[in-house]
Structures are given as structure tokens and as C-alpha cells.
Amino acid sequence: MPSAPWQKSSYCADSSNCLSLAASPDKTIRIRESEAPHTVVTTTPSQLASLMDAIKTGTLTPHPTSL
């Protein structure tokens, strides 16, 4: 599978604390952190939209093991 071009926010500049996103041919979205670029999380556009909405509205529930 050809690699999709990674994109990051212009707010990141040259910082090493950024997320990069790439759209894949299979219509999924790949997410990676600049400090661990070989670790990639795959999600769907609707799942990512739900996560972003929860972050913006402050409705995320902490995972029980992180309490």
C-alpha cells in the first residue's frame, strides 16, 4: 500500500509534540505522534469526529485504569 502524505497543524511549527494525520486509500485516518512516528493508530472519519467533539465539549470520561 502506498504511504499517504502525513499532515500536521501549522500551529506545531517545528515542535516535537505534535500529532500528524494521513488519509488512507481505504478511507481510514491514520494518526501518529511526532515523538513516536512508527506507532500509528487507525480510525474512521466518524470516530475521529466523535473524539474531537468530546474533547471540545469536555465530555470525555477517564479510563478506569487511569484514575
Give the model confidence (pLDDT) of 10-55 as tens digits. Answer: 888 776 788 999 999 999 999 999 888 899 999 999 999 999 999 8
- Tell me, yes or no, whether 62 lies in a domain: no
| Predicted structure pTM score | 0.72
- Tell me, yes or no, whether 43 lies in a domain: yes
HSE-CB at 39 with a 13 A cutoff on CA atoms is: 5
Closest CA to 27 of 50, 9, 1, 53: 1
- Tell me, yes or no, whether 39 lies in a domain: yes
Question: Between vectors from CA 16 to CA 12 and to CA 21, what angle results, nearest 5°?
Answer: 60
- Tell me, yes or no, whether 64 lies in a domain: no
Q: Which band of pLDDT confidence, cut at 50, 70 and 90, is reported for residue 67?
A: low
pLDDT number for residue 45: 96
- Tell me, yes or no, whether 19 lies in a domain: yes
How many structural domains compose the chain? 1
- Tell me, yes or no, whether 42 lies in a domain: yes
Cβ-in-10-Å burial (0-12, 13-18, 19+) of 30 comes to middle
- Tell me, yes or no, whether 67 lies in a domain: no
- Tell me, yes or no, whether 1 lies in a domain: no
Closest CA to 21 of 58, 52, 61, 60: 52
* Cell numbers linked to 42: 487507525
Query: Which residues form the domain of 21?
Result: 7-57
